[in-house]
Amino acid sequence: MNHDDTALFPVDTDTLTRLHHRLARTADAEGLLDVTYHLVDSPIGRLLLAATDTGLVRVAFESEGVDRILQDLATHLGPRILADDTRLRTAATQLHEYFRGERREFDLPLDHRLSTGFRGTVHRILPRIGYGQTRSYSQVAALAGNPRAVRAVGTACATNPLPIVVPCHRVLRADGTTGGYVGGTDAKATLLRLEKAA
Amino acid sequence: MNDTTPFAHAVHRHGTTVLRVCRAVLGPGQDAEDAWSETFLAALRAWPDLAPDTHIEAWLVRVARRKAVDVIRTRARQAVPTDRIPETPSDTDDPQHHDRDVWAAVAALPERQRLALAYHYLGGLPHTETAGIIGGTPDAVRRAAADGLRTLRRTLPHDDTPKGPSR
């Protein structure tokens, strides 16, 4: 229950931020956290990065809705989630380097728990498409050992839990048009342009 | 699979309320911050098994109360009279000083008024539940909270109350 008059009882943001950091550190040290997350800026919009104690588990576009993303992580990975950048510093640095054209591949521990079944197979194949290259959905289907599963590859790309790091943006339609992208077609075009220019 | 809310929401939505309760019970210093941390750590441990219809804020305030009681017990055991919040001269240009003045005024209230404010007014627990915690009747709790507020409004200069949003 919140009263308007609680403004009479000041609590400064700095103190709350400090307490929040301390909570996240202690909780992590005691193994109490399923997921931590952190938001970073990028040329294609703000990104939410999330990690388990295994590694980076999710890269999401803020435009997907932070509450929705967190609820989804809670449902699939557990509800003990806190904002904290400790587990995500390396990922944030490497993404920053990538967007500056200074990094061509990611070297990060990944947690593929959100990629199951055939989608998982596709997600593990995508990093074989090198920086600056592209493949068609049917070529990826063939690589995944099921040349007729073109639609399923499309679905797998659309539901990639680790976009950018797992490069689903390098998969295009057979006619060369970019096709859909979870972060929007503009974002996909920006990534492809970036990789061509670097 | 479960549909429990991400814990981050609980900290974001109720972190301020819990800190106000802890400060009203324990004063604005380190003890209140320790009680806050212990509250959310305990809440985090219990979180995955929490009943879905739990009123989160009231539940957190009850946990905070237990943690505050723990802190008071520890204080009593140590029983070394330490300096209470130092009475620093107030510099009204500095919001930190103003905050300290407010919480010092809360700390100076009679205990029942302070606890009625903490658990009922700031923590949102019902009169009856607060009465169960601090003793007396629900009506007495209502009066204690109102008396405490009146004293605070009288002691604190009005033009000094924070203007910006406080949460």
Are B26 and B70 in the same domain?
A: yes
Q: What is the CATH number of the domain that holds B39?
A: 1.10.1740.10
Alpha carbons A147 and A139: distance in angstroms, whole number: 7
Q: What are the tens digits of pLDDT across the range B50-69?
A: 998 999 999 999 999 999 99
Are A131 and A165 in the same domain?
A: yes
Domain total of chain A: 2
Pull the structure tokens for residue A65: 């809705």
Find the mean pLDDT for residues B57-85. Answer: 84
**pLDDT for the residue B80:** 61
Is residue A109 in some structural domain? no
Are B23 and B61 in the same domain?
A: yes
**pLDDT for the residue B89:** 47
Q: What are the tens digits of pLDDT across the range B105-130?
A: 999 999 999 999 999 999 999 999 99
Q: Does B60 touch chain A (CB under 8 A)?
A: no
Range of the domain at B150: 95-160
**pLDDT for the residue A77:** 97
**pLDDT for the residue B90:** 45
Are A93 and A8 in the same domain?
A: yes
In sign, the C-alpha dihedral spanning B65, B70, B71, B77 is: positive
Is residue A166 in some structural domain? yes
Is residue B2 in some structural domain? no
Boundary (domain end) residue, out of B50, B78, B106: B78
Q: Which of B44, B97, B119, B121 to mutate to test the interface with A (most CBs of A within 10 A)?
A: B44
Which of A73, A168, A182, A187 is catalytic? The answer is: A168
**Cα-based angle B56, B60, B66 (whole degrees, multiple of 5):** 150
pLDDT at position B76 over 90: no
CA distance B129 to chain A (A): 14
A168, A127 contact by CB (below 8 A): no
DSSP state at residue A50: E
**pLDDT for the residue B162:** 46
Boundary (domain end) residue, out of B24, B48, B78: B78
Are B70 and B104 in the same domain?
A: no
Confidence of residue B166 (pLDDT cuts 50, 70, 90): very low
DSSP state at residue B164: S
Q: What is the CATH number of the domain that holds B106?
A: 1.10.10.10
Are A164 and A192 in the same domain?
A: yes
- Name the 3-class secondary structure at A172: strand
* A82:B11 CB<8 A: yes
User: A36 φ, ψ to 5°?
Assistant: -120, 155
Q: What are the tens digits of pLDDT across the range B137-150?
A: 999 999 999 999 99
Are A43 and A123 in the same domain?
A: no
Pairing mode of beta strands A81-83, A47-51? unpaired
User: B13 φ, ψ to 5°?
Assistant: -80, -35
Are A140 and A93 in the same domain?
A: no
Is residue B136 in some structural domain? yes
Range of the domain at A132: 117-197
> CA dist A75 to A39, A70, A111, B6, B123, Å?
20, 9, 16, 9, 29
Are A55 and A135 in the same domain?
A: no
CA distance B108 to chain A (A): 14
CA distance B37 to chain A (A): 6
Is residue A147 in some structural domain? yes
Is residue B167 in some structural domain? no
Is residue B87 in some structural domain? no
Find the mean pLDDT for residues B29-35. Answer: 95
Boundary (domain end) residue, out of B48, B78, B108: B78
Boundary (domain end) residue, out of A70, A99, A128: A99
DSSP A106-158: ----B--TT--HHHHHHHHHGGGS-TT--EEHHHHHHHTT-TT-HHHHHHHHH
Are B70 and B106 in the same domain?
A: no
Strand partners of residue A47: A40, A61
**pLDDT for the residue A197:** 85
pLDDT at position B83 over 90: no
Mean pLDDT by 10 residues, chain A (198 residues): 63 94 96 98 97 98 95 97 97 98 96 95 96 95 94 94 97 85 92 91
Are A94 and A134 in the same domain?
A: no
Are A74 and A122 in the same domain?
A: no
Q: A25-29, A116-120, B16-20, B84-88: lowest mean pLDDT where?
A: B84-88
Are A170 and A121 in the same domain?
A: yes
Domain total of chain B: 2
Spatial neighbors of A176 by CB under 8 A, at least 6 apart, are none
Is residue B88 in some structural domain? no
Are A133 and A191 in the same domain?
A: yes
Are B107 and B57 in the same domain?
A: no
Burial class (CB in 10 A: 0-12, 13-18, 19+), B91: exposed
Nearest to B118 by CA among B145, B84, B99, B100: B145
Alpha carbons B26 and B20: distance in angstroms, whole number: 10
Chain A partners of B167 at a C-beta cutoff of 8 Å? 2, 6, 11
